[in-house]
A and B are shown apart, each in its own frame.
Chain A
Amino acid sequence: MTRSARRLLLLIACSISLATWLPPALAKPTIRVASKHFTEGYILTELMAQLLEARGYQVQRFHGLGGTMVCFRALAHGEIDLYPEYSGTIEQEILQSPVPLREEELRHQMRERFNLAVLPSFGFNNTYAIALPKTRAGVLRLSTISDLRQHPELTGGVSYEFLKRQDGWPALAKAYHLPHQPVGLEHGLAYEALRAGQIDFTDAYTTDAKIEKFGLVILEDDQRFFPQYLAVPLVRDAVAQELAPTLALLARCLDEATMRQLNARVELEQVPFAEVARQFLVRKGLVADTGRPPWAGLAARLAHRTLEHVGLTTVALVAAVAVAVPLGIAAYRTPALGSAIIPIAGLLQTIPSIAFLAMLIPICGIGKWPAIVALFTYGLLPIVRNTYAGLNHVDPQYRLIAQAMGLTAGQRLRFVELPLSFPIILAGVKTAAIINIGTATLAAFIGAGGLGEPIVTGLALNDRGLILEGAIPAALLALLTEGAFRLIDRSPWADDAPESRGARAP
């Protein structure tokens, strides 16, 4: 293959990925729905999404967007239109009310302060509970949370959110005078830890599918400490009027037992949450039974996500090259600038990706753009560094002869120095591309889609199959990228004589 043919191929590949990535139909108004990252959130959001779709709306899903504050801020900033929330959480976390609020007060305050509508509840109360193995509870004669006080030797393991939030463990421990110092752990892992005997009790939700599976009992909240956590759709006022009649169809259609069953279908029977939601809606007669699930098969799903992933990565990479190569050149030409640029690029690189993505939400919102900004930032360092190093490693004799031949500084750069450092610059671009493919999987946390989507969902649902559905293609994509770069790098002038290259790797 000639060099120009390879360049053409590269260009075509870039344009295809760009074209597929751009949002398809901008004309139709789209309802953006989000969920917090646990099973019930996914199911409730999916119920609303499919119901809205059945009524002719376009729906964009941001599943597993984040915890309460991330979802709430996204909603308050108009990044999303709705997500399912719990009344207790609204009262304590969002409104930070010192006193319990009645339903109308809650509704009123949310409207006044945030322009958000609290729609009628789905019908179940998913409050916090403290759970421990039945056998253990029997032996220790534990039946209420107050009983825990008699057993300070028990080890608690609770979710990070519960450990930190105001209405969580600190308040509970105070109300019941509990001496325990529970450890924080991922909620999905708590049950395994209970079974393995590494912890004795954990926090649970009343609708948690695993309570029965793991043979747990819930300790009675004898002091009525936990507030009501009625699941409600939290909707932006701007669209609430329009959506309320449709979403009202879901009001009071789920009780705790039903919700626990739906959760169990997903978590224990490994039925995809979208399918569980669809079956429920069909059973309730809310959507027509089309006979086949509303999502495409695995291949189409994979193709879609991969294209999304490649699109994110490509846009970020192209932008990073466009900025980083000139920066590298500037650093090379002005050494004083170089000694500033390289460390700054290095510093940006050290920001943990999840923290960086979270920081970008207030600035760029959620979805593809903050992800691209983050990927772009991570791509800068390897490219700047390699451009700088590549230019500095050009054999000085070529610089000298180019000068002697009467090439201007710009011509030397274009015709001699950049082509000679091309392999090293390309290696930097390759590194950036591989980093981006990996980091882009995390971008699903802020609703950017791509191959991270099944990984994030799989993590939230503790579903290994789902995790692999994202992880394997992502790994393959990285390998493929590596191979593709090797193909571009086969410069004819260096094919059989690597020692004749004008520049060597640093």
Chain B
Amino acid sequence: MEIGLEQVSYAVDDRPILRDIVTAIPRGGTVAVVGPSGCGKTTFLKLINGLVIPTAGTVRLDRQALDYRQIHRTRRAMGYVMQEAGLFPHLTVEANVALVARLERWAPGRIAKRVEALMRLVNLADPALLARYPWSLSGGQRQRVAIARALMLDPPILLMDEPFSALDPIVRRELQEEFLRLKAALHRTIVFITHDFAEAHRLGDRIILLNEGRIEQDATPADFVSRPSTPLAAAFIASARGIPDT
């Protein structure tokens, strides 16, 4: 599914958060959104699934403007993963992953099959895990379950808000590898937010740098590194230097 933002602005009490955002994310593309704290990254993500409604401009999915009255239907076409996993503490792993499918009234057999396949996909094949509650999982396991949950309805779009930031470096690295594998296997439109330029560089087909609510640079990782358009872009690149693989 293609995502289009046309002259989108968003303000709270006349305080602009995002200004005149124009961008298009093609079907199957993976865009990493980077920027300093408070630049509007999370709002950028929330515009796409209608958690915030733009004060000006239009958000389009496959050229159709978002229908905010039936927004929950649209949201089910978008998997959402957040920093702290956000697994519901009162539901087991299985119930967390299967929740939306149950709301969609899938047959139990279909749900079981899908959950099993997803758990294998995120490398949590042990069936004993399904009955556990989130508190008993490690941080990495939780994030994997969160990804499985986001993929339950096989959504064409995946939105991820700093999905790996809270993990320790080794687990983070592991999940990044898996992300690349999933990305290749699933071919979804993915928008993910990170404050880590190295991660953006590794995982994205494109990097969007937001600053004070505006797009400061929008380029492929290679172009970004070779031709930073502003001092901030250069500073971001510099912040990742010295780390191998960037």
Contact = CB atoms under 8 A, between A and B. Distances in A.
B and A form one assembly: yes
Interface of A: 397-398, 400-408, 411, 415-416, 419-420, 422, 491-494, 496-497, 500-502
A504 to B, nearest CB: 12
Interface in B158-190: 159
B76 A502 contact: no
Q: For A398, A403, A422, A497, which residue has the most chain B Cβ atoms within 10 angstroms?
A: A403
Given A397-B82, A420-B89, A405 B99 contact: yes
Nearest to A420: B90
**Chain A contact residues: over half helix, strand or loop, or mixed?**
helix
B2 interface: no
Which A-B residue pairs are the 9 nearest by beta carbons? A406-B75, A406-B76, A404-B80, A401-B86, A500-B135, A497-B135, A493-B133, A406-B72, A419-B90
A492 B100 CA distance: 22
B51 interface: yes
A500 B134 contact: yes
B68 interface: no
A404 B45 CA distance: 11
B88 interface: yes
B84 interface: yes
B65 interface: no
A501 B103 contact: no
Nearest to B92: A493
B113 interface: no
A405 B82 contact: no
A415 B96 CA distance: 11
A475 to B, nearest CB: 34
B89 A493 contact: yes
Given A397-B84, A411-B103, A500-B135, A404 B75 contact: yes
Interface in B121-144: 133-136
Contacts of B105: none
A406 B99 CA distance: 11
Contact of B133 (A400, A401, A411, A492): A492
B73 interface: yes
B49 interface: yes
Nearest to B80: A404
A401 B90 contact: no
Contacts of A411: 103
A415 to B, nearest CB: 7
Contacts of B80: 401, 404-405
B89 A408 contact: no
Contact of A415 (B78, B86, B92, B99): B99
Given A397-B84, A401-B86, A502-B88, A496 B76 contact: no
A423 to B, nearest CB: 10
Contacts of B91: 493
Contact of A496 (B75, B135, B149): B135
Contacts of A403: 51, 75
Most chain A CB within a 10 A radius of its CB, from B74, B84, B90, B136: B90
Contacts of A415: 99, 103
Interface string B179-213: 00000000000000000000000000000000000
Contacts of B72: 406-408
Given A404-B82, A493-B134, 11 more contacts: A400-B86, A403-B51, A405-B75, A405-B76, A405-B100, A406-B72, A406-B73, A492-B133, A493-B91, A494-B90, A500-B89
Contacts of B74: 406
Contacts of A401: 80, 82, 86, 88
Given A405-B100, A496-B135, A502 B82 contact: no
From A404, A415, A422, A493, residue with most partner B Cβ within 10 Å? A404
Contacts of A502: 88-90
A493 B135 contact: yes
Interface in B37-80: 49, 51, 72-76, 78, 80
5 contacts: A404-B159, A406-B100, A408-B72, A492-B133, A496-B135
A255 B131 CA distance: 79
Nearest to A395: B89
A397 B81 CA distance: 11
Contacts of A500: 89, 133-135
A408 to B, nearest CB: 5
A320 to B, nearest CB: 24
A420 B87 CA distance: 12
Contacts of B89: 398, 420, 493-494, 500-502
A422 to B, nearest CB: 8
A422 B135 CA distance: 18
A404 B51 contact: yes
A491 B49 CA distance: 33
Contacts of B75: 403-406
A497 B99 CA distance: 23
A401 B99 CA distance: 12
Nearest to A401: B86
A7 to B, nearest CB: 15
A416 B51 CA distance: 18
Nearest to A496: B135
Contacts of B88: 398, 401-402, 416, 420, 502
A494 B133 CA distance: 9
A402 B89 CA distance: 12
A411 B76 CA distance: 13
Contacts of A407: 72, 100, 103
Best-surrounded residue of A397, A401, A491 (most CB of chain B within 10 A) = A401
Nearest to A398: B88
A22 B99 CA distance: 42
Contacts of A400: 51, 82, 86
B45 to A, nearest CB: 9
B141 to A, nearest CB: 14
Contacts of B136: 497
B6 to A, nearest CB: 22
Contacts of A408: 72
Interface string B17-34: 000000000000000000
Which of A416, A493, A496, A500 has the most C-beta atoms of chain B within 10 angstroms of its own C-beta? A493
A419 B90 CA distance: 7
B44 to A, nearest CB: 14
